[in-house]
Amino acid sequence: MSLNLPPGDMPAEEFRRFGHEVVDWIADYLTDPGQMRVFPPFSPGHLVDALPASGPGEGEPMERILADFRDLIVPHCTLWNHPRFFSYFSVSSSGPGILAEALIATLNMNGMLWRSSPAATELEQVTLGWLREWLGLPERFFGMIHDTASTSTFHAILAARAMAEPESRERGSAPGLVLYTSEQAHSSVEKGALALGIGRQNVRRIPCDAAFQMRPEALGEAIGSDRAAALRPFCVVATVGTTATTAIDPVPAIADICEREGLWLHVDAAYGGHLGLLPERRHVLAGCDRAQSFVVNPHKWLFTPIDLSAFYTTRPDVLRGALSLVPEYLRSADDPRAINFMDYGVPLGRRFRSLKLWFVMRYFGRNHIAAIIRHHLELARYFADQVAADDRFELCAPVPMSLVCFRLRDSDEANRRLFDRLNASGEGFFSHNVLEGRFVLRFALGNIHQRRPDVDAVWKLIRTLI
Ligand SMILES: *Cc1c(COP(=O)(O)O)cnc(C)c1O
């Protein structure tokens, strides 16, 4: 009877065999992640058309599934671990992080409560404590993990609103709250405000100086005129390492204003925060210890597989007061050491993400990670120096981190043409931006596989394609 023999999971022997095959594929791939095209040559819909319209009724052999992974899926991938990936922010995973991901899926814990996952809950506290120390942030920062910086920043704005307007939990938000960020801030700030019903017209994009850093005087003036109009300023989001140019807002001066005005200060350091690991660059985090919340993404520059965003706040009590709703089936005994992370965020279910950060931090150690980041800073400087020395090109922004924004001294059209040729070549993958109304190319370093020959090859390619 089928009651005694229900259909089950993959048999252990089969798992072992294909597990070895998958690990071999991963190891081969990581030995030379630059072999394939970094960006696929297909137009949108190509993969959809190549796959069946319906899922299979009967199971298929693993051989066929893995063959299709190799022959169909991988060729349609933009390869983020590729050393010629210079787009967006160049991020990569790493061996220990990849191994941890397999173990996370194996345990399949849901970290909503301490009781549902003691190890996930406590390792989240331990790893974020280590990271806080590595970055030189104060001990009063309570840490928790989210999927992305967008989610972390959303929670920061939510906490800021709860602080300014505790009655919003019951009554909903009253109109008139105003949030401030720079014109260079990441779109996740505005999106967080949108999602919380703050309204786009209540997000002030404060002007920047010539180095793309928020102008604190302009911030002070905007707050003053909003107060005069009987509006209610409640939150300022500063950025350490903007996405456009890695500019660093003057956080100490912004913190002065926030303290004077009684506003919540959130620092978005999704990428740039990692410079806190380097004693000689830690000054980029000056003033961040005065923020009420802070976000840094180990999946950006700490070689941790996507997704892992570290969110810190000095006021977990405010978040909890705003969000905690405990249905009876999730009620557990009150033990002060048992944190239930579901009380501090929107998601109930939470992946065991801390395991991959723990593997990465332990396997490499702080000094090795700092050395890789230093190498990226040197490579960026090296590339920027060559751009600056060639009078057909110009740098479009200072290079304080590992991103170089540059362009041909020519029309936008010529720059766009160069950009299209570069990406069509499959030899490098770039992203673009518009800075001060002009088209610029972004050359981002930060991938664990990037070496000087990659930079040399791409600089040569750029000069042959103009
Ligand atoms: C990448 C980035 C974000 C968004 O990160 P996600 O984790 O993809 O949401 C936000 N802010 C800055 C400064 C970033 O560089």
78 CA to centre of own chain: 17
pLDDT score, position 326 = 81
Is residue 312 classed as helix, strand or coil in its secondary structure? strand
Residue 269 Cα: closest atom of ligand 1: 13
Residue 435, Cβ neighbours under 10 Å: how many? 17
Report how far residue 430's alpha carbon sits from residue 102's, in angstroms, rounded to the nearest whole number.
30
Provide the token pair at 210: 């010539």
Q: Is 157 exposed, middle or buried (0-12, 13-18, 19+ CB in 10 A)?
A: buried
Has this prediction a pTM greater than 0.85? yes
Tell me if 149 CB under 6 Å of ligand 1. Answer: yes
pLDDT of residue 1 exceeding 60, the answer is no
Predicted confidence band of residue 2 (pLDDT cuts 50, 70, 90)? low
**C-beta 148 within 6 A of ligand 1:** yes
Q: Is 240 in the pocket of ligand 1 (CB under 6 A)?
A: no
Tell me phi and psi for residue 298, to 5 degrees.
Answer: -55, -20
**188 CA from centroid of ligand 1 (Å):** 7
- Going by the DSSP 8-state scheme, the letter that residue 54 receives in this structure is S
Q: What spacing in Å lies between the alpha carbon of 126 and ligand 1's midpoint?
A: 24
**Cis upstream peptide for 385 (omega within 30°):** no
DSSP string, 105-136: HHH---TTSTTT-HHHHHHHHHHHHHHHHHTT
Cα(407)–Cα(304) distance, rounded to whole angstroms? Answer: 31
Cα of 266 to ligand 1 centre, how many Å?
Answer: 14
188 in ligand 1 pocket by Cβ < 6 Å? yes
Out of 80, 146, 147, 148, mutate this one to test ligand 1's pocket (max ligand atoms within 8 Å of CB): namely 148
pLDDT at 362 over 70: yes
Helix (H) / strand (E) containing 440: strand 438-444
**d(Cα 443, Cα 402) in Å, to the nearest integer?**
8
- Give the range among 126-135, 323-332, 399-408, 411-420 with minimum mean pLDDT: 323-332
Percent of the chain that is helix, strand, coil (3-state, to 5): 50, 15, 40
| Ligand 1 geometric centre to CA of 54 (Å) | 35
pLDDT tens-digit series, residues 428-448: 999 999 999 999 999 999 999
pLDDT digits (tens, 9 = 90+) for 400-423: 999 999 999 999 999 999 999 999
Locus of tokens 């298929």:
60
- Whether 427 and 387 have beta carbons less than 8 Å apart is answered as no
CB-based burial of residue 147 (10 Å sphere; 0-12 exposed, 13-18 middle, 19+ buried)? middle
Distance from Cα 150 to the centre of ligand 1, integer Å = 6
Place of tokens 């050359």: 443
DSSP annotation of 85 reads: B
Mean pLDDT calculated for residue range 302-329? 94
What share of the chain has pLDDT > 90, as a percent? Answer: 94
Whether 329 has a pLDDT exceeding 60, the answer reads yes
Looking at residue 334, its pLDDT comes to 78
Domains in the chain, please, with CATH?
Answer: 110-351 (3.40.640.10)
Contact 74, 36 (CB under 8 A): yes
| CA 196-199-203 angle, 5° bins | 105
Quick: pLDDT tens for 17-64. 999 999 999 999 999 999 999 999 999 999 999 999 999 999 999 999
**Average pLDDT for the chain:** 96
Residue bearing tokens 């009620």: 331
Give the atom of ligand 1 at the shortest distance from the alpha carbon of 150: 9
**Can you tell me the mean pLDDT for 267-277?**
98
